[in-house]
Amino acid sequence: MRVAIVNDVPLTTEALRRIVLSDPRHQIAWMAADGEEAVRLCLGDRPDVVLMDLVMPRVNGAEATRRIMQDSPCAILVVTAGVATNYHLVCEALGHGAYDAITTPILGSRSPAEAGAELLGKLSVVDRINRRVTQMHLSTPADSKPVAPSSVAGSRMPLLAVGTSTGGPLALATILGALPADFPGAILVVQHIGPEYAGCLVDWLRVRTPLTVRAASAGDVPQARTVLIASSGDHMVLMADRTLAYVREPADYPYRPSVNVLFQSLARNWPAPGLAALLTGIGRDGAQGLLALQEAGWRTIAQDEASSVVFGMPRAAIELGAARHVLPLEQIGPFICKHLRPSLVKLT
């Protein structure tokens, strides 16, 4: 892959350059010392992936991510030294379209390949996703359309399931911020993000919704007025006893945690139809799972193209016929409030 590096510290830039080049499959497209230069270089030479620092002079990494995704979209991986002090910027960059985030590797006495093993692993994932996106574009059916809406009769505690990736944090904040404090349903969320950043996403969302937001742990049970967010490098699933668990398989799936895996487990194990939404994101993760939920009687939503940072995941669902409703982001929260209603029958 052609990799661009954006960082204002020369020693860090050199370390990242050596790590990238330690894998012969990669080459350096260009290097920039701040966000403004990165935006300009991306316009003239779009790389396969950008390694984006956050705290830089002139234009920070979050704003640079926004401009790049608007004018010359490509995969962006946040590489930052201070997660705890910069988690607001991390979530802002993810909301604008960065794919994932990672702590800046330090070479020390180790070889570039050893010190940068995690970063190189992230680059391999981006490469696999880029290839899948290319294959998706080559094999997209032209005549698939969303199916007509149908009513869903709920008979248990309402459940809302949400899957998203690129651009997801801001989309989640918009939807969750539109839900009232007495929202009657339980909410499960899969956002493609490294487990080390799941906590910062939880903190960031907590101040943007009146609901309780926390990282999901194995053994948790979905609860009304509570948002549980997948927080592991493994896949979050609902078990037959209606508790949450994390599973490794499918181990070779590039999206971790996977929206498909959660949605398919809900189709098998949740006792009554709920509502599921597939939001902005690169690739196809979630489309097959959304179809499984639709076939199980769930009301299904895909975010529309105009309001998506990246239209890959919603488009895949629409083309598969898995989305009964295609809505702009601002309408999804009110739609959920209108159609996801509590039941008079307790879980049995």
The catalytic position among 165, 265, 307, 308 is: 165
53 has catalytic annotation: no
Asked whether residue 246 is domain-assigned, the answer is yes
User: Can you give the CATH number for the domain in which 260 is found?
Assistant: 3.40.50.180
Instruction: Identify the pLDDT of residue 145.
Output: 42
Asked whether residue 95 is domain-assigned, the answer is yes
Residue 210 sits in the same domain as residue 240: yes
Residue 164 sits in the same domain as residue 201: yes
Residue 185 sits in the same domain as residue 78: no
Instruction: Identify the pLDDT of residue 95.
Output: 82
> Which sign, positive or negative, has the C-alpha torsion 117, 122, 125, 130?
negative
Q: Which residues contact 142 (CB under 8 A, 6 or more apart)?
A: none
Instruction: Identify the pLDDT of residue 150.
Output: 35
When divided into structural domains, the chain yields a total of: 2
- Residue 180 dihedral angles phi and psi, to the nearest 5°: -75, 160
The catalytic position among 192, 232, 304, 325 is: 192
In one letter, which amino acid is 149? P
Q: Tens digit of pLDDT for each residue in 183-221?
A: 999 999 999 888 878 888 898 899 999 999 999 999 999
192 has catalytic annotation: yes
Residue 98 sits in the same domain as residue 243: no
155 has catalytic annotation: no
Q: Which residues contact 328 (CB under 8 A, 6 or more apart)?
A: 303, 304, 306, 307
Instruction: Identify the pLDDT of residue 102.
Output: 86
Residue 254 sits in the same domain as residue 222: yes
Q: Which domain holds residue 63?
A: 2-138
Residue 126 in contact with residue 222, Cβ under 8 Å?
no
Rounded Cα distance, 40 and 183, in Å: 45
Low-confidence stretches of the chain (pLDDT < 50) are 137-155, 343-348
Instruction: Identify the pLDDT of residue 345.
Output: 36
Tell me the pTM.
0.78
Rounded Cα distance, 235 and 231, in Å: 9
